[in-house]
Amino acid sequence: MLTWASVLLLGVGSYLLRLAGLVVISHGDVPPWAREPLRLLPPAILAALTVSLLVAPSDAPLGPRLVGVLLAGLLLLRRTSLAIAMLLAAGLTALLRLVWM
């Protein structure tokens, strides 16, 4: 029962913290020096979550997911279409999973 109470308390705290941020931003009380870092925060959080999922401990030091993402990154740097890069990266990842599993 203590576990569920902790989960509920942390969920409510998280919701209130996010709500407080939205209220402050919506009223325009954000100082000018803080606007640019706040604008860059969502992509930074998304990148951090992506990297933490890619380099999570696994059996292989260079897992199939990481190889697929690296391929997609290289293709996108060469100005390849996003759809083609995603398809090729997914195909390589699936092939590597078949070989390594």
Q: What does the DSSP 8-state code read for residue 61? A: S
Does 17 fall in a domain?
Answer: no
For the chain, what is the largest distance between any 2 Cα atoms, rounded to a whole number of angstroms? 55
**Six-digit token pair at 53?**
């999922």
Q: What would the pLDDT profile of 13-31 be if each residue is shown by its tens digit?
A: 888 888 887 777 777 777 7
Question: Which residue reads 């697929």 in tokens?
Answer: 68
Does 68 fall in a domain?
Answer: yes
* Local structure of 94: helix, strand or coil: helix
**Six-digit token pair at 81?**
């279409």
Domain count, the chain: 1
Does 1 fall in a domain?
Answer: no
Does 56 fall in a domain?
Answer: yes
Does 55 fall in a domain?
Answer: yes
Domain of residue 72 covers 31-100
pTM over 0.85: no
Does 20 fall in a domain?
Answer: no
98 pLDDT more than 70: yes
Q: What would the pLDDT profile of 55-85 be if each residue is shown by its tens digit?
A: 766 655 677 888 888 899 999 999 999 999 9
Does 36 fall in a domain?
Answer: yes
Does 86 fall in a domain?
Answer: yes
pLDDT for residue 35: 77
* Contacts with 93 (C-beta within 8 Å, 6 or more apart), sequence order: 64, 65, 67, 68
